[in-house]
Amino acid sequence: MPKLDSILETALYVDDMDRATAFYETVMQLPSLMKSDRLCAYDVNGASVLLLFIRHGTLEPVDTGRGIIPPHDGMGRLHMAFACSHEALPDWEDHLAAHGVAIEGRTGWKRGGTSVYFRDPDANLLELATSPGLWPGF
């Protein structure tokens, strides 16, 4: 069986790209890798990439000049988690509060981790999960 190394990209779908990019750049403090009308890509600590797509903006195949990207899309309140250290979580909670972002939930995990949950402007559920302490090895 071939081995997978990691998840490289995670995608969320948004209705208003300007509103979404303001949130991810200001509140989540993610540096932009590229921006277009239908897609924005953000570096997540040099370990992965968060892609924001305009909802329904990827329903047709895209010819990159080097191949075809098949269509995709997402609806509803999607979920993704960011990892942070145990020490950084209180600072993140203060940072979110300072930006008017409400914490909707908090969970302690059997392995010693803690997760806090909040929404982006498109109602996607975001999680800050302390690592290690959530999953085996994470």
118, pLDDT greater than 90: yes
Look at strands 39-44 and 48-54 and give their pairing: antiparallel
Give me the domains of the chain, ranges plus CATH numbers. 9-61+78-130 (3.10.180.10)
Q: What is the pLDDT of residues 29-55, one digit of tens each?
A: 999 999 998 899 999 999 999 999 999
pLDDT score recorded for residue 122: 97
pLDDT given for residue 40 in this prediction: 98
Choice between 38 and 56, residue whose per-residue pLDDT is larger:
56
Secondary structure (3-state) at 40: strand
pLDDT score at 4: 85
What secondary structure, in 3-state letters, does 56-70 show?
CCCCCCEECCCCEEC
pLDDT of residue 77: 94
Q: What residue has token string 């960011």?
A: 82
pLDDT for the residue numbered 50? 98
What percent of the chain has pLDDT above 70? Answer: 100
Please state the rounded mean pLDDT for residues 119-128. 97
CA 86, CA 84: separation in Å to the nearest integer?
7
Q: What is the pLDDT of residue 37?
A: 85
Name the token pair of 24: 């991810």
Q: How far apart are CA 3 and CA 8, in angstroms?
A: 14
pTM: 0.93
